[in-house]
């Protein structure tokens, strides 16, 4: 099933993001994670992609196949273009097609000093155009409610996003944020720019002290006072921080749902407890 079909009749989506485990022994844990995640009946699960890895043996595809075949949940495969050429992307697309995978989150990927970039896909929109013309996938794209770190301002951000959407992106998944008002402002700017596809907010329940500062600096995310107070108070109390972090994320999600958002994309960090707690917290919210 193509993810874009979910939204046709005004349905909202619930989706999870997971990453392939780095070590083989962690593969067993991912099965336990998937058991819990899939029981929560998400509309899709997206699987991240390590930049610069070999197209053939990437664990992303293996995990996506498992989600589809063993759990009968729709996978979305993340794919970064910056470090690959057209031939490699064709190879990857063919492998996905052979496995019946129909959805790609088409990304540029981060610029990295240690991995040489190739010339074919300088921006995500270049890969979207190429995949659209040469293959048959539902293409999703990333968006940044607080701007991408490389963008000079929101005007630049929206202009380039519009190019990516016009190239064939059908659904947008957002970078994580902690302040809903910034997401609402961003969505409004999208509408003004005639970007009329579903824009799904990405929510990451932050439940560990070390995680918070890393996330905020990596993702350009603002850190609202209400959230800062939770962290200041409970950073040395693991259990309290888990409860308070979960409760903050659930209240963010409820606010998004009552504000007619198209869905919720949950960054699970491969922690099934997080997804389960969120689903319990919103089970009667429609």
> Kindly report the CA angle at 202 between 32 and 273, in degrees rounded to 5?
25
* Residue 65 vs 164, nearer CB to ligand FAD: 164
Whole-number minimum distance, CB 193 to ligand FAD, in Å? 13
Q: Which of the following is catalytic: 17, 102, 146, 170?
A: 17
Q: What DSSP designation does 176 have?
A: E
3 state DSSP class of 172: strand
Supply 112's token pair: 């990295």
Whole-number minimum distance, CB 151 to ligand FAD, in Å? 4
* Residue 15 vs 230, nearer CB to ligand FAD: 15
| Alpha-carbon 65 to chain mean position | 18
CA distance linking residue 61 with residue 247, whole number of Å: 33
Whole-number minimum distance, CB 282 to ligand FAD, in Å? 20
Residues that bind ligand FAD (CB under 6 A): 48-49, 51, 78, 80, 107-110, 123-125, 142, 148, 150-151, 156-157, 160, 163-164, 173, 175, 202
Whole-number minimum distance, CB 232 to ligand FAD, in Å? 27
* Residue 67 vs 230, nearer CB to ligand FAD: 67
* Residue 184 vs 234, nearer CB to ligand FAD: 184
> Kindly report the CA angle at 38 between 37 and 40, in degrees rounded to 5?
70
What H or E segment, with its residue span, contains residue 74? Answer: strand 74-80
Q: Report phi then psi at 222, rounded to 5.
A: -75, 155
Supply 133's token pair: 């013309």
Whole-number minimum distance, CB 212 to ligand FAD, in Å? 18
* Residue 162 vs 209, nearer CB to ligand FAD: 162
CA distance linking residue 129 with residue 146, whole number of Å: 25
CA distance linking residue 199 with residue 101, whole number of Å: 22
* Residue 40 vs 154, nearer CB to ligand FAD: 154
End-to-end, the C-alpha distance of the chain in Å comes to: 23
Whole-number minimum distance, CB 286 to ligand FAD, in Å? 25
* 17 in active site: yes
Supply 286's token pair: 């429609």
CA distance linking residue 126 with residue 218, whole number of Å: 24
Question: Dihedral angle at the C-alpha atoms of 221, 180, 267, 228, nearest 10 degrees?
Answer: 50
| Alpha-carbon 176 to chain mean position | 8
| Active site members | 17
């Amino acid at each position: 099933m193509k993810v874009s079909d979910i939204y046709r009749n005004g349905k909202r989506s619930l989706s999870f993001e997971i990453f392939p485990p780095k070590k083989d022994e962690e593969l067993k844990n991912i099965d336990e994670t998937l058991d819990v995640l899939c029981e929560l009946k998400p509309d899709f699960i997206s699987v991240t992609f390590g930049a610069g890895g070999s197209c053939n043996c990437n664990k992303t595809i293996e995990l996506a196949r498992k989600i589809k075949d063993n759990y009968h949940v729709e996978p979305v495969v993340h794919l970064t273009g910056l470090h690959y050429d057209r031939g490699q992307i064709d190879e990857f697309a063919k492998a996905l097609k052979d496995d019946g995978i129909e959805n790609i989150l088409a990304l540029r990927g981060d610029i990295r000093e240690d991995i040489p970039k190739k010339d074919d896909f300088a921006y995500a929109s270049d890969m979207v155009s190429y995949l659209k013309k040469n293959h048959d996938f539902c293409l999703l794209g990333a968006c940044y409610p607080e701007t991408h770190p490389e963008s000079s301002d929101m005007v630049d951000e929206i202009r380039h996003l519009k190019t990516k959407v016009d190239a064939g992106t059908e659904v947008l998944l957002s970078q994580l944020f902690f302040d809903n008002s910034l997401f609402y402002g961003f969505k409004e700017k999208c509408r003004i720019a005639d970007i009329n596809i579903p824009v799904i907010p990405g929510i990451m329940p932050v439940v560990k002290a070390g995680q918070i500062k890393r996330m905020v600096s990596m993702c350009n995310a603002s850190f609202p006072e209400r959230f800062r107070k939770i962290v200041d108070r409970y950073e040395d109390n693991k259990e309290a921080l888990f409860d308070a972090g979960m409760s903050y994320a659930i209240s963010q999600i409820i606010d998004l749902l009552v504000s007619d958002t198209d869905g919720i994309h949950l960054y699970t960090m491969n922690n099934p407890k997080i997804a389960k707690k969120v689903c319990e917290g919103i089970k009667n919210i429609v």
